[in-house]
Amino acid sequence: MVTPGRDYDFIAGEVLIIDKPLEWTSFDVVKRLRSTLTRRLGIKKFKVGHAGTLDPLATGVIIVTTGRATKLIDSLQAGVKEYVATLKLGATTPSFDLETEIDATYPTDHITRDMIDQATARFTGRIEQVPPAFSACKVDGKRAYDLARKGREVELKPKVLVIDEIEVTAFDPEAMTLTLRIVCSKGTYIRALARDIGEALGSGAHLTALRRTRVGDATLGSALSVDDAVELIRNCSLAPQPD
């Protein structure tokens, strides 16, 4: 974690909390920090990993580990996650977000706030969720999103997961936009949750914005921008290495 005034030992292992920018992949973040680290440490190859992938169209908390701290990835990404998601009701897309164009529209005049509260309550607790076809899940050894982007039919099996809380933080009945705060387990696809809530409302829905605000104990309040993380790596005091 980032602590002012201390020496950093990236080889022994550091954990950096990063606020991933929009349209960056999680690997883009890792690649940028790894490149900065190899130059600062004067080595060609260096282990850098991340705990919990975010889609390019999502922003927010991603945990980056260096050196021997990469062994912590499984435990770090197992932490409870919190998101703020914005849904557009009345329209669907194949990817369940803005990666693909709208493929169908539906009436929304029947939707009320009470209906939304009842629908979201159905998805709290232990549930089964079918992952999106546009996901990193593997089908016959291939990534589902590679098949989906080629127009191939993708059938994925439902996965059991836990959604601890869904809070409606805003609903605009004119724009038909819905903002939710979601606390959930590892493996939850918020895009798939948007799909399922849209189906429950009889209107369809897709995700228009997603921000991850917490992974375990890592929060946005302690997150660095990518640029700030680069500056930290370039300018921090390094712990002395054994001969």
Position 10 pLDDT exceeds 90? yes
Q: Which helix (H) or strand (E) holds 129?
A: strand 125-129
pLDDT 10s digits, 181-200: 999 998 899 999 999 999 99
Position 1 pLDDT exceeds 80? no
pLDDT 10s digits, 163-175: 999 999 999 999 9
How large is the average pLDDT for residues 49-77?
94
For residues 228 and 18, give the distance between their C-alpha atoms in angstroms, rounded to a whole number: 9
Q: pLDDT band at 133, cuts 50/70/90?
A: low
Position 145 pLDDT exceeds 60? no
- Give the pLDDT score at 141: 60
- Give the pLDDT score at 25: 92
Active site residues: 55
The tokens describing 179, both together, are: 């903002």
* Paired strand residues for 89: 205
pLDDT 10s digits, 75-109: 999 999 999 999 999 999 998 999 999 999 999 99
The tokens describing 163, both together, are: 């959604």
Q: pLDDT band at 38, cuts 50/70/90?
A: very high
The tokens describing 73, both together, are: 């990835």
3-state secondary structure of 92: strand
The pairing of strands 58-66 and 205-215 is: parallel
3-state secondary structure of 74: helix
How large is the average pLDDT for residues 41-65?
94
How large is the average pLDDT for residues 111-132?
93
Position 135 pLDDT exceeds 70? no
Q: Give the predicted TM-score (pTM) of the model.
A: 0.91
Tokens 């919990």 sit on residue: 52
The tokens describing 64, both together, are: 């980056």
The tokens describing 43, both together, are: 């080595």
Task: Give the Å distances, CA to CA, from 124 to 40, 111, 115, 118, 120.
Answer: 46, 20, 15, 11, 7
